[in-house]
């Protein structure tokens, strides 16, 4: 068997992270993987999460199986937190998953088994793992326009392409803080997408991984809730990795909305059957943390306050980078970055520019230009701005040997 195994392609993000890890240059800067880092460069455990863990350690009586749907209190809390109103909550069912990635795969499998031959539309560009997840579930993947040549939202192209989506197709939309671009549709475009979905009968499939890190927790959920109120069916994959900092606890939720409670009568069992063949049941620890935080008024308020501090720091990092690029003569690039939000930004640079950043300045981002704004310590932003200006050949950029490493 093993002699038949051909060399598989490595995951591009983790391959790049490994290259960064092997780079001996002290000035190296890792902007690859999507984790939040505080001003010291650490990825902290949120205080509300720590307090929840202490409570769980003191009162946890058993490690018994939770069941195929996972932690029921977590599922209820996630549906309530995401959807917000009794009307929408009453139309939803959910099961816990192995992080947001698991939710995406589970819902993709659900669609493929329910309606074989289903087509799913994803943005161009899309999160690097979207296509592999969806194709592995047996879905046919098509793309819709997302950015124009200047790196701005191509809303006309998006609506044009999705005008071709047919009844029963899925359309994967990121609810906020689009990865990799940091560019979100306008409120008017979300309304137009709802019009298209109603008129053509396609099903929105929301990837919700960064709510709370863009415009604020409630604001970041507005598009998802507004779309849910307009369409009869909706799929939502939710991640707790970023806004709870539960990266390695792999905590997520798959939510299905139907036109009525009666329409959902077979959904949870169908999702359970799929989960049983993929991973059986999800891990308890992260879900118990989230359920504890969201189930306690004081802890929930503390968590939301911490999340707002993280959001403000990400926003500040981006504003600082924009200002420094403008000062270095990179006005066009600064203007594009200023329109973005959330953990990620796509620098308006070519693949050669990004390779130049890596080879000459040990600044690691993807060749598509994606960088993790949330992963930069504030004192490193001048170095990043200088490196970008240098590879662009900006008139005011310092020479290579004049860059300030920190």
Give the SS3 label for residue 371: strand
pLDDT digits (tens, 9 = 90+) for 308-346: 999 999 999 999 999 999 999 999 999 999 999 999 999
- Same domain? For 206 and 323 the reply is no
Q: Please indicate, yes or no, if residue 394 is contained in any of the structural domains.
A: yes
- Same domain? For 287 and 318 the reply is no
Asked whether the beta carbons of 378 and 314 are under 8 A apart, the reply is: no
What is the Cα–Cα distance from 48 to 354, expressed in whole angstroms? 38
What is the Cα–Cα distance from 394 to 383, expressed in whole angstroms? 15
- Same domain? For 201 and 238 the reply is yes
CATH number at residue 365: 3.90.1150.10
Q: Please indicate, yes or no, if residue 5 is contained in any of the structural domains.
A: no
Asked whether the beta carbons of 108 and 120 are under 8 A apart, the reply is: yes
Number of domains in the chain: 2
Q: Which of 368, 290, 373 is nearest to 49 (CA)?
A: 290
pLDDT digits (tens, 9 = 90+) for 268-295: 999 999 999 999 999 999 999 999 999 9
- Same domain? For 145 and 286 the reply is yes
Look at residue 13 in the predicted model and tell me its pLDDT.
86
Q: What is the dihedral of CA 301, 177, 222, 91, to 10 degrees?
A: -90
CATH number at residue 134: 3.40.640.10
pLDDT digits (tens, 9 = 90+) for 74-125: 999 999 999 999 999 999 999 999 999 999 999 999 999 999 999 999 999 9
What is the Cα–Cα distance from 359 to 20, expressed in whole angstroms? 11
At how many degrees (to 10) do helices 187-200 and 155-162 cross? 10
Q: Please indicate, yes or no, if residue 300 is contained in any of the structural domains.
A: no
- Same domain? For 119 and 141 the reply is yes
The percent of residues in the chain predicted with pLDDT above 90, rounded, is: 87
Cα 266-268-271 angle, rounded to 5 deg: 105
- Same domain? For 219 and 285 the reply is yes
Strand partners, 323: none
What is the Cα–Cα distance from 303 to 188, expressed in whole angstroms? 31
What is the Cα–Cα distance from 224 to 176, expressed in whole angstroms? 9
Give the SS3 label for residue 253: strand
> Which residues are CB-neighbours of 117 under 8 A, at least 6 positions away?
140
- Same domain? For 53 and 34 the reply is no
Alpha helices in 23-128 (DSSP H): 47-59, 72-83, 86-89, 99-114
Alpha helices in 115-244 (DSSP H): 130-136, 155-162, 187-200, 217-230
- Same domain? For 176 and 161 the reply is yes
User: Which residue among 263, 295, 327 closes a domain?
Assistant: 295
- Same domain? For 146 and 31 the reply is no
What is the Cα–Cα distance from 5 to 397, expressed in whole angstroms? 49
The percent of residues in the chain predicted with pLDDT above 70, rounded, is: 97
pLDDT digits (tens, 9 = 90+) for 157-206: 999 999 999 999 999 999 999 999 999 999 999 999 999 999 999 999 99
Give the SS3 label for residue 315: helix
pTM, two decimals, is 0.94
> What is the DSSP code (8-state) at residue 395?
T
pLDDT digits (tens, 9 = 90+) for 360-386: 999 999 999 999 999 999 899 999 999
**Domain containing residue 377:** 11-43+313-402
For strand 170-174 and strand 203-208, is the pairing parallel, antiparallel, or unpaired? parallel
Look at residue 61 in the predicted model and tell me its pLDDT.
75
Q: Please indicate, yes or no, if residue 2 is contained in any of the structural domains.
A: no
How would you class 35 by CB atoms within 10 Å of its CB: exposed for 0-12, middle for 13-18, buried for 19 or more? middle
């Amino acid at each position: 068997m093993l002699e038949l195994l051909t060399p598989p392609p490595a995951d591009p993000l983790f391959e790049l992270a490994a290259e960064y890890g092997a780079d001996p240059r002290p000035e190296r800067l890792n902007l690859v993987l999507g984790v939040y880092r505080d001003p010291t460069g650490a990825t902290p455990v949120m205080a509300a999460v720590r307090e929840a863990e202490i409570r769980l350690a003191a009162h946890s009586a058993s490690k018994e199986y939770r069941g195929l749907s996972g932690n029921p209190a977590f599922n209820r809390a996630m549906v309530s937190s995401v959807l917000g109103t009794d009307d929408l909550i009453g139309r939803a069912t959910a099961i816990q998953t192995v992080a947001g990635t698991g939710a995406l795969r589970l819902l993709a499998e659900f669609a493929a088994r329910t309606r074989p031959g289903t087509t799913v539309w994803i943005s161009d560009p899309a999160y690097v793992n979207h296509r592999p997840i969806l194709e592995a579930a047996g879905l046919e993947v098509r793309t819709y326009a997302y950015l124009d040549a200047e790196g701005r939202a191509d809303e006309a192209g998006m609506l044009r392409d999705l005008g071709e989506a047919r009844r029963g197709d899925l359309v994967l939309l990121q609810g906020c803080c689009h990865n990799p671009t940091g560019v979100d549709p306008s409120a008017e475009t979300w309304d137009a997408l709802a019009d298209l979905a109603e008129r053509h009968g396609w099903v929105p499939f929301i990837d919700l991984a960064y709510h709370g890190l863009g415009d604020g927790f409630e604001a970041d959920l507005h598009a998802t809730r507004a779309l849910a109120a307009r369409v009869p069916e909706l799929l939502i994959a939710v991640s707790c990795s970023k806004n709870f900092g539960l990266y390695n606890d792999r905590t997520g939720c798959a939510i299905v909305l139907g036109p009525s409670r009666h329409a959902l009568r077979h959904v949870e069992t169908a999702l359970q059957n799929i989960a049983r063949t993929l991973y059986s049941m999800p891990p308890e620890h992260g879900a118990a943390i989230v359920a504890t935080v969201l189930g306690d008024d004081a802890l929930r308020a503390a968590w939301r306050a911490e999340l707002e501090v993280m959001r403000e720091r990400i926003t500040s990092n981006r504003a600082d980078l924009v200002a420094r690029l403008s000062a270095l003569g990179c006005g066009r690039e600064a203007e594009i970055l200023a329109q973005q939000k959330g953990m990620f930004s796509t620098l308006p640079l070519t693949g050669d520019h990004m390779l130049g950043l890596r080879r000459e300045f040990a600044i690691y981002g993807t060749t598509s230009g994606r960088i993790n704004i949330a992963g930069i310590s504030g004192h490193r932003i001048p170095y990043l701005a200088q490196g970008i200006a240098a590879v662009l050949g900006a008139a005011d950029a310092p020479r290579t040997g004049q860059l300030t490493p920190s």
